[in-house]
A and B are shown apart, each in its own frame.
Chain A
Amino acid sequence: MRRAILTGVLALVAAAPAAAQPRAGIVRPADERGLSLLELGRQLFAGNCSSCHGGLARGIARAPKGQGSGGITGLGPSLRGVGARALDFYLSTGRMPLSEPDAEPERQGVELSRREINAIIAYVTSLGPPGPPVPDPHPEAGAINDGLHLFTEHCAGCHQVVGQGGVVTGARVPPLQYATATQIAEAVRAGPYLMPIFSDKQISDAQLDSIIRYVLSTRNPPDRGGWGIGNVGPIPEGMVTWLLACVLLVGLCVLIGKRLKA
């Protein structure tokens, strides 16, 4: 712990730009362009993923001895058969690689390029059964009305009805404001972290299109006029109103006081 603090202080003092980097940066091979996709994926996986998911993506279910690459050792699930669907979701939202293995994977800046992501997907899916591919949703074919209904039924319990996210005990529920249509489809089918997995028996592909269309529509809700105050809800808006009312009331009191004195 003390060493970590010392390192952090040194990093802050010595090199300000270094502070913008994640604590465990991406480990890259020297000449990416010269490598085939599969070989690049193998090297990236070994450098960034294997300390938790194991050298051959079989997962680590018991605490390992020693330290893995980047000083990180942790437990991680097997990636055999999870398919491009889950891999693309975790990598393209910046949830993986995870700098702290016990933390909840959350959306952050993506450090990997698209080619690097494709390389890792190609490598991992080559190890075992290829698994489900990246879904190809068509939100324009969905209906916002149905989407709202289905979202309320299946998703709003955790994500709130306008997709703002929230909490479930033990984890944060991400807001859906930054997710792309493909990422939403991937998450629904793959069930990242604590999210339930919704199969096509529960939510059909057509229904999923409607849900995605609805989620995308929540980013630009129709403006009903009035003072939005950042659309943060009735309580802060009420507080602003009270503030205005208080100023008015104080002004009134001052006026009355002056009249009484005169």
Chain B
Amino acid sequence: MRRLPVAVIAALLGRRGRRAAAEAHGERIVPEGEPAPLGAELVVAALLVLSAICGAGFVVAFAVTTPATHQTQYLGLALGLCLTFLAAAAIVFSKRLVVDEDAEEDYPEPHPAEQAEVREIVRESGSRITRKRLLLGAGGLAGAGLTAALVAPAVSLGPVFDTDSLRSSPWTRGKRLVDERERPLLAYDIEPNTFYTAYPEHEDRDRIASPVILVRLDPNALKLPADRADWAPDGILAFSKICTHAGCAISMYRKPLFAPADPRPALVCPCHYSTFDPATGGDVIFGPAGRPLPQLPLLIDPATRELKAAGGMSGPVGPSWSGVRE
């Protein structure tokens, strides 16, 4: 993106150099006169440049605006002004610069020498008239600004190149699990047939990987993958509370009252009903989620019976972006 203006300038300079070389070999037919007043051309160019500035302003406003500030009116203002200036430039251009005169005359006899002369006149006159290049350059700039303004929000939808931050989490081995009021959770507190929300001790709870959902299942009913065999001491399992589909908080836990006849235990997201099986390590059993719920390995402190993390999350927490699918 940053290279584009440089390339435009380089191209313009290159052409100017070539033209200067062409003029050097002979005498001019058209005397090099005073630069004609540009007038309307300058107005159009200025409007186009303003449009480009507004497009760039949109990108800046979009980058500065956070969900906390909610200053979305600046986004609308920038994009609106960008389009308004573009429209104004088009109006001035069509009214003042487009030649709309019809002249009729017979087709002339071919005069190769005169044609060459006319070409030279045109070319040499053109060396003074910069309006085509000026307008092309300004138009290109305005187009680039508008394109950047429209593309920026789409590109910002989720990290594309730098997805490492999604894999970071506050959970490390030995980190204690605490409840909403920072009280450490004991293994004994976790009862079957219900669910709990826990956080890492002394960590920012607003981080997407912080909240976990805790359930206790019958240890004999667990079907965890072999490499997670010791992740659920006493049948206590911890999973990220953030759904892997659209990032809602998983707030539903269905538990069968009578296992032989009722649906099996599952964590359910209230937004689109993605349903995860805690017994198999958070596999998706229903719904639009594309990957399992990340699991947090647990250990029970042998001395205090407190619940602690035995390591980091099993995968990236939060909704799936283009860079995070598994």
Contact = CB atoms under 8 A, between A and B. Distances in A.
A191 B193 contact: yes
Interface in B232-283: 251-258, 260-263, 266, 268, 270, 273, 275
Interface string B176-203: 0000000000000101011110000000
B261 A158 contact: no
Interface string B208-252: 000000000000000000000000000000000000000000011
Interface stretch (A25-33, A121-129, A166-174): A166-174
B293 to A, nearest CB: 14
A157 B261 CA distance: 24
Contacts of A199: 191, 194
B257 A171 contact: no
Interface in A50-78: 59, 61-62, 74-77
Contacts of B256: 193-194
Task: Tell me if A's interface is mostly helix, strand, loop or mixed.
Answer: loop
B250 to A, nearest CB: 8
A158 to B, nearest CB: 5
B193 A74 contact: no
B74 interface: no
Interface residues of A, number: 29
A158 B193 contact: no
Nearest to B215: A196
A170 B254 contact: yes
Interface in A164-199: 166-171, 191-199
Nearest to A158: B252
Nearest to A63: B260
Nearest to B253: A196
A158 B266 CA distance: 13
B194 A191 contact: yes
Nearest to A101: B261
Contacts of A171: 254, 263
A140 interface: no
A93 B301 CA distance: 44
A102 interface: yes
A171 B251 CA distance: 16
B255 A194 contact: yes
A32 B252 CA distance: 44
Contacts of B261: 74-76, 101-102
A116 B155 CA distance: 67
B286 A169 contact: yes
A195 to B, nearest CB: 8
5 contacts: A166-B270, A169-B287, A191-B255, A193-B262, A194-B263
Interface of B: 189, 191, 193-196, 251-258, 260-263, 266, 268, 270, 273, 275, 286-287
Given A76-B258, A194-B255, 8 more contacts: A156-B251, A157-B270, A158-B270, A169-B254, A169-B263, A169-B275, A169-B286, A191-B194
Which 5 pairs, one residue from A and one from B, show the smallest C-beta to C-beta distance?
A157-B251, A170-B263, A194-B254, A77-B258, A196-B194
